[in-house]
Every structure is written in C-alpha cells, then in structure tokens.
C-alpha cells in the first residue's frame, strides 16, 4: 500500500545495506510520496525511483526483490528489463537505452541519506 505522505529524506545505517542487498522506502518527490530503493552493488551505492521506464510500474513484484539471482543486475519483474545497479541504465529488455530515475544519495558518517526530488 502506498503511503499518503513521505519524508523529504530517507536514511539508514550503511551497515544495514551490505553488498548484494537492497532496501525499499518512500520519499517525497514534487511534494508527493514516491516509492524508491537503494542498492549496494559490490560496494557502490545507487538510489532510484522505483518506477520502470517501460510502463511505470514498480520493479519489485515481491517487496524489495530487485536483484537478479546472481546479484549482478536490477530486474523489472513485469517484463524483465535489466538495469545496471551502479548507473540505473537499462541494458536489455523493452526499455533498453532508457534509465531509472536516480535520487541524490550521500554518506553522513555511518548513515546513507537519500533525498527526494523537488
Ligand atoms: S514494466 Fe518494466 S519491463 Fe515492462
């Protein structure tokens, strides 16, 4: 169920997102709550709006299930688009050449902080 409100920033402890893991959350974009997620791919973090550029559905059919079985790619569960975790670029599938919408992400001490969009 989508939340009615969302904070302008979301944060977690970096230790809670080890390599090969993702976390889903909601953050405010344009004053509205938007589903989003962070991924740690081999030590590189990425934060994206959870919206496939193909039809606009969320990527995870099952909550927080974004990665391929081998952990190398982000996968859209609806039609199988394949995205690079570090860049969000779609490299295969019906929206190849497009990309996930990135969100600003920074480290503050031991915390990962993701900002929404204005
Ligand atoms: S909705 Fe994601 S590949 Fe079609």
Q: How far is the CA of 52 from the centre of ligand 1 (A)?
A: 6
Q: What does residue 15 show for φ and ψ, rounded to 5 degrees?
A: -65, -20
From CA 11, how far away is CA 49, in angstroms rounded? 15
From CA 111, how far away is CA 85, in angstroms rounded? 20
Instruction: Give per-residue pLDDT as tens, 99-112.
Output: 999 999 999 999 99
Residue 25: predicted pLDDT: 97
Residue 47: predicted pLDDT: 98
Instruction: Give per-residue pLDDT as tens, 3-56.
Output: 578 999 999 999 999 999 999 999 999 989 999 999 999 999 999 999 999 999
| CB of 93 sitting under 6 A from ligand 1 | yes
From CA 47, how far away is CA 86, in angstroms rounded? 9
Residue with tokens 């079985």: 69
| CB of 101 sitting under 6 A from ligand 1 | no
Atom of ligand 1 nearest to the CA of 52: 2
pLDDT value at 1 more than 80: no
Residue 5: predicted pLDDT: 86
CATH superfamily to which 9-112 belongs: Rieske [2Fe-2S] iron-sulphur domain (2.102.10.10)
Largest Cα–Cα separation, the chain:
39
pTM of the model as a whole: 0.94
* 3-class secondary-structure state, position 94: coil
Task: Give the list of residues 6+ apart from residue 79 with CB closer than 8 angstroms, or none.
Answer: 52, 54, 55, 93, 94
> How does residue 79 score in pLDDT terms, banded at 50, 70 and 90?
very high
């Amino acid at each position: 169920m989508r939340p009615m409100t969302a904070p302008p920033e979301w944060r977690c402890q970096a230790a809670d997102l080890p390599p090969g893991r993702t976390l889903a959350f909601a953050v405010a974009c344009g004053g509205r709550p938007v589903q989003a997620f962070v991924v740690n791919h081999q030590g590189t973090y990425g934060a994206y709006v959870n919206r496939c550029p193909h039809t606009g559905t969320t990527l995870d059919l099952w909550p927080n299930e974004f990665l391929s079985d081998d952990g190398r790619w982000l996968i859209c569960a609806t039609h199988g688009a394949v995205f690079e975790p570090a860049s969000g670029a779609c490299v295969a599938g019906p929206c190849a050449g497009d990309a996930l919408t990135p969100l600003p992400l920074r480290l503050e001490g031991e915390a990962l902080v993701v900002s929404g969009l204005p």
